[in-house]
Each structure stands twice: as C-alpha cells, then as structure tokens.
C-alpha cells in the first residue's frame, strides 16, 4: 500500500531561521512527488513537482529535493507569510491523478 | 485565467439527507478529481473523472458518487449523510489524465452534517 509520512508534524521558526521539512514515501512505481502549500480554510496551492531522484527545484525561499525514499522542502530565511501547512503528495501506479497525501507539516514563522 | 471554482463554499445538512457539490475546472482542463479533507484523516482521494468517465476511485462507500459533464464541470453527490461526512471537500483539475501533471485545487466546500 502506498504511504506518505511527513515530519515534523509542526514546526515553529523565528523569521530568518532556515530549516527543512521531510516527506518519506513508500510507493510502487513513483510517477511524481508534489509539494503543496495550504492556508487555513483554503485549497492546497501547487508548489513543485519532482520526478526522479536527484532532481531539485527552487521558488523564492523554497527548494525541494528528491531521493529514492524521501523528499525535503528547504526553507531559507523564512518570513511570517511562509506560515502554512505544507503537504507532500505522491502519484503512483500506471495512470490517473490519484494523489496519496501525507498528513502535512504545520509551519509557523514568528516575526 | 480563472481558477477552479467550487460551489457552495459552505453547507449545513442534517443526517440522512443528501447533498450535491459542484466544481468548475480551469478552462481547458479535462480531468477533475475530488478529495475529502478531515483533521483526523487528512486529504483522501475520492474519485477522478476524465472525458465524462470515472477513471479512478478511492476507498469510499457507494454513498459517494460523482459525474462529469461534457463541458468538464463535475458534481459530487453524497447520499444518506452521516455525521462523519463532515469535512472540507476539495476539487482539483488538471490538463490531462494518466500523465505526470500537477493538479490545481479549488477553495473547497465546507460540509457540516448535524
């Protein structure tokens, strides 16, 4: 059974304090790993897609990396507006959207 | 380009009733998927539609059903509502089915069953 876990469950950072979020997965036939950001009461907002081990993508203060068993979302010098829940999802199997989501990491960045 | 639109945003229903939720995908997107989000279970896949056909289905009872119209708009129906059906229901659209493509989510419909 495809599984996705995320750690830590919650993370509090001071503004400017860099850190990393972890996403570990067990899937058969990974087609893609996705990172989303979700603000309270809103739908997830797409951040990155990673397809193969060794791949990296960056967007502003965020950088996502992928290995064969896990992905990291690195946050450099975060700002309070980066506070949100970060969700990791995998697409596996042969077809279909069918994301399997992790439970998320709730990030709070304090000014 | 307009995003994914879900209606209504909020809904309160009584146990035993049925409910229909609507989703309009991004223009040109032909794949629509539905997800249920609860504090305890997180985001769980319900089903995916592409070209008016259900392509994938998650592990939910038959009380949860859906359909897609020729203009790619989709509806989700839940019959005989239970208290445990209270959740945020999210719709996501993507350009293609069966490809490595990201999904864009709507704001969701918050369903409360009393």
Q: Kindly report, residue by residue over A43-66, the tens digit of the pLDDT.
A: 999 999 999 999 999 999 999 999
pLDDT of residue A59: 94
Per the CB < 8 Å rule, is A49 touching B100? yes
- The pair of structure tokens assigned to A27 is 């899937």
pLDDT of residue A27: 84
Q: What is the DSSP string of A33-101?
A: EEEEEE-TTS--EEEEEE-STT-EEEETTEEEEE-SSEEEEEE-S--GGG-EEEEEEEEESSSS--EEE
Cα–Cα distance between B15 and A25 in angstroms, integer? Answer: 37
Q: Which of A37, A91, A97 would you mutate first to test chain B, the one with the most B CBs within 10 A? A: A97
Q: Chain-wide mean pLDDT for chain B?
A: 92
Cα–Cα distance between A69 and A23 in angstroms, integer? Answer: 9
Contact B33, B23 (CB under 8 A): no
Find the mean pLDDT for residues B44-49.
92
Q: Which of A49, A96, A100 comes nearest B98 by C-beta?
A: A96
Q: Which of B44, B58, B107 comes nearest A43 by C-beta?
A: B107
- Examine the pLDDT at B97 and tell me if it is beyond 70: no
Q: Which of B6, B43, B107 comes nearest A101 by C-beta?
A: B43
Comparing A9-18, B28-37, B99-108, the range with the smallest average pLDDT is: B99-108
- Examine the pLDDT at A96 and tell me if it is beyond 70: no
A101 → chain B, closest CA residue? B43
Q: pLDDT class for A99, splitting at 50, 70, 90?
A: confident
Residue B5 Cα, gap to closest chain A Cα (Å):
11
Q: Measuring CA to CA, how many Å separate A49 from each of A73, A88, A99, B16?
A: 12, 10, 12, 40
- Examine the pLDDT at B73 and tell me if it is beyond 60: yes
pLDDT of residue B49: 92
Highest mean pLDDT among A14-23, B24-33, B93-102 belongs to A14-23
Residue A42 Cα, gap to closest chain B Cα (Å):
5
pLDDT of residue B100: 58
Per the CB < 8 Å rule, is B42 touching A42? no
Q: pLDDT class for A36, splitting at 50, 70, 90?
A: very high
Q: Where is pLDDT greater, at B97 or B11?
A: B11
Per the CB < 8 Å rule, is A43 touching B90? yes
Q: Chain-wide mean pLDDT for chain A?
A: 92
Q: Which of B35, B56, B102 comes nearest A46 by C-beta?
A: B102
Comparing A48-62, B57-71, B86-100, the range with the smallest average pLDDT is: B86-100
**Phi, then psi, of A85 in degrees rounded to 5:** -100, 130
**Phi, then psi, of A90 in degrees rounded to 5:** -120, 150
pLDDT of residue A97: 63
Residue A79 Cα, gap to closest chain B Cα (Å):
24
- Examine the pLDDT at A94 and tell me if it is beyond 80: no
Find the mean pLDDT for residues B3-10.
96
């Amino acid at each position: 059974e495809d599984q996705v876990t995320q750690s830590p469950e919650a993370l509090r950072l001071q503004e400017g304090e860099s850190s990393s979020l972890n996403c570990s997965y067990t899937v058969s036939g990974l087609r893609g790993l996705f990172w989303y950001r979700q603000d309270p009461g809103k739908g997830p907002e797409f951040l990155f897609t990673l397809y193969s081990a060794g791949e990296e993508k960056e967007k502003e203060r965020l950088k996502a990396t992928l290995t064969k068993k896990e992905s990291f979302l690195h946050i450099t010098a975060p700002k309070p507006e980066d506070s949100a829940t970060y969700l990791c999802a995998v697409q596996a199997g042969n077809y279909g959207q069918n994301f399997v989501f992790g439970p998320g990491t709730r990030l709070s960045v304090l000014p | 380009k307009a995003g994914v639109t879900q209606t209504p945003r909020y809904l309160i229903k009584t146990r035993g009733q049925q409910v229909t939720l609507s989703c309009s995908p991004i223009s040109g997107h032909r794949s629509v998927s539905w997800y249920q989000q609860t504090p305890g279970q997180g985001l769980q896949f319900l089903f995916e539609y592409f070209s008016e056909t259900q392509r994938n289905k998650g592990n939910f009872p038959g009380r949860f059903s859906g359909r897609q119209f020729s203009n790619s708009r989709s509806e989700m129906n839940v019959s005989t509502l239970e208290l445990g059906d209270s959740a945020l229901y999210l719709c996501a659209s993507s350009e293609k089915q069966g490809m490595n493509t990201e999904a864009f989510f709507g704001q969701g419909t918050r369903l409360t069953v009393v």
